[in-house]
Amino acid sequence: MLAGVFGDAFRFMPNHFSLLLEKTGETAELAFVALGIALVLALPLGLWLGHRHRGLLLALSVSSAGRSLPSVVLIGLGIGILGVGFWNNTVALVVLAIAPILTNAYFAIDGVDRDVVEAARGMGLTETQILTRVELPLGLPLLLTGLNIAAVFVIATATIAGIFGGGGLGDIMARQVTYGLGGVFAAAIWVAGLALLTAAVLGVAQRAASRRMAPKT
């Protein structure tokens, strides 16, 4: 039976390629808008707290809350405030993305060698210059790890948006009567592909940052 379903899924793809492409674009838009907003909200706070070496409890609390909050509950609460649609789902995804971004930004900067920071301070660099020129480049690999985790998590969770009027590939997955089980599996495969592609791109950036920071021999 499973082989038959996968066969149906791979037959569904070429026959509904434009539909899958359109829905993938909707899922990507929803996910990346949420990631962008989460970055604007969480990244500066995480960098500042890490630079000040304060707020560890806040970072850990946000991380724990982000992992424990069910996506469906967040989206359901959003419906009561914003109604059904794109922004209701975006707000829920922003909340989910903030945790790994804030936590990894904090630990990326907090974990930079204190001697390096003090040396930069002794050379007359301002606190902003120390953060942007010393701590941020050194902490970039760990920071990108947090972004990678958030991106994959948000893309996977964005499929729930189809149930609540957010469109995207989740719309296909929520309408088995219309698209059949093959269509549901096809949409799931495309979600996985989008998540893996995003993770691969961020993984390349993370490895490049790690190589750049590696000691020269």
Q: How many domains does the chain divide into?
A: 1
Q: What is the pLDDT of residues 116-158, one digit of tens each?
A: 999 999 999 999 999 999 999 899 988 998 899 899 888 888 8
Q: What is the pTM of this model?
A: 0.84
- Determine the Cα angle at 108 with ends 104 and 110, to 5°: 115
Q: What is the pLDDT of residues 74-91, one digit of tens each?
A: 666 666 666 666 777 788
Structural domain that includes position 119: 2-213
What is the domain-level CATH number for residue 106?
1.10.3720.10
CA 148 to chain centre: 6
Contacts of 107 (CB under 8 A, 6+ apart): 50, 59, 142
Within a 10 A sphere around the Cβ of 102, how many other Cβ atoms? 28
Average of pLDDT values for 167-175? 86
More confident residue, 211 or 217: 211
Within a 10 A sphere around the Cβ of 24, how many other Cβ atoms? 17
Contacts of 46 (CB under 8 A, 6+ apart): 59, 101, 102, 103, 104, 105, 106, 108, 109
